[in-house]
Amino acid sequence: MQQNVNVAGFELFTENWLTYKKIIDENYMFHREMYQALQAFLGKQLSTAPISVLDLGCGDASKIPCAFSLCQLDYYCGFDLSALALVSAHQTISEVTKQYDLVCVDMLDGLTQVDKQFDVVFSSYALHHLSASDKAKFFIHAYTALKPSGILILIDTLKDASEDLHTYYDNYLGFAKNNWQALSDVEIKRVSEHVRASDFPETFKYLENAAYFAGFVNNATLAKHQWHQLCVFYK
């Protein structure tokens, strides 16, 4: 995979990516608990037959081998806007399955153009970047992209029912500033700017209603830690 990336763009990506990797390594967003719960769920539900997975906002796909380790991953397709992240994803996924595609595309744009169906549609900490109306479209197109017995799996940040968006920003970022001690002041500032500009989390009730409208018949929460949640929606 060859990419042409300007120096300024590469430096900005590297700074933001290193900060996010630090957040993951320090488990500030409960990636460890979320993916342990996901691994256990997949091992119980989807371990008997080969499965296909569509990963929306896949990033470097570093958590996929562990999450799907108890499954037979027959085909993997990952969408992400970062070509640089997909370079890393290529190495990771090639060690898990020989059948895969990695596409540099906006995840919703890519989802609306999918021409095949999957056993699992998966997205981790990406849905909250979409507007409310685009989240509704996401559920509709995710439903279409799933096989008749398929499952939509989401890991994401969600507002509490009592929070409006600005209260969520204040609460989440206030907690981060007081507790994410491995991050420098510059990194905390960068996180804060990103969250206030780009994060639009909903309540779980909103997601539940959007899923029901799209056709999903049931859902379950597998893990919940503060504002972070792992949930599944059944076609």
Q: pLDDT of 196-221, one tens digit each? A: 999 999 999 999 999 999 999 999 99
Is 97 inside a domain boundary? yes
What is the arithmetic mean of pLDDT over 219-229? 96
Is 90 inside a domain boundary? yes
CB 34 within 8 Å of CB 230? yes
* pLDDT reading at 12 higher than 60: no
CATH classification at residue 221: 3.40.50.150
Average pLDDT value for the chain:
91
Picking from 165, 168, 164, 142, the residue whose alpha carbon sits closest to that of residue 231 is 142
Is 1 inside a domain boundary? no
Degrees to nearest 5, angle at CA 107 with 87 and 186? 65
pLDDT at 16: 72
Is 139 inside a domain boundary? yes
Is 43 inside a domain boundary? yes
Q: pLDDT of 95-141, one tens digit each? A: 999 999 999 999 999 999 999 999 999 999 999 999 999 999 999 99
CB 157 within 8 Å of CB 201? yes
Is 155 inside a domain boundary? yes
pLDDT at 1: 33
Amino acid making up residue 212: Y
Number of domains in the chain: 1
d(CA 146, CA 141): 9
Domain that holds residue 147: 7-234
pTM of the shown model: 0.91
Give the helix/strand (H/E) hosting 64. Answer: helix 64-67
Is 99 inside a domain boundary? yes
Q: pLDDT of 19-60, one tens digit each? A: 888 999 999 999 999 999 999 999 999 988 999 999 999 999
* pLDDT reading at 184 higher than 70: yes
Helical spans, DSSP H, in 75-229? 83-94, 107-112, 132-145, 165-179, 185-198, 204-214
Degrees to nearest 5, angle at CA 169 with 163 and 172? 90
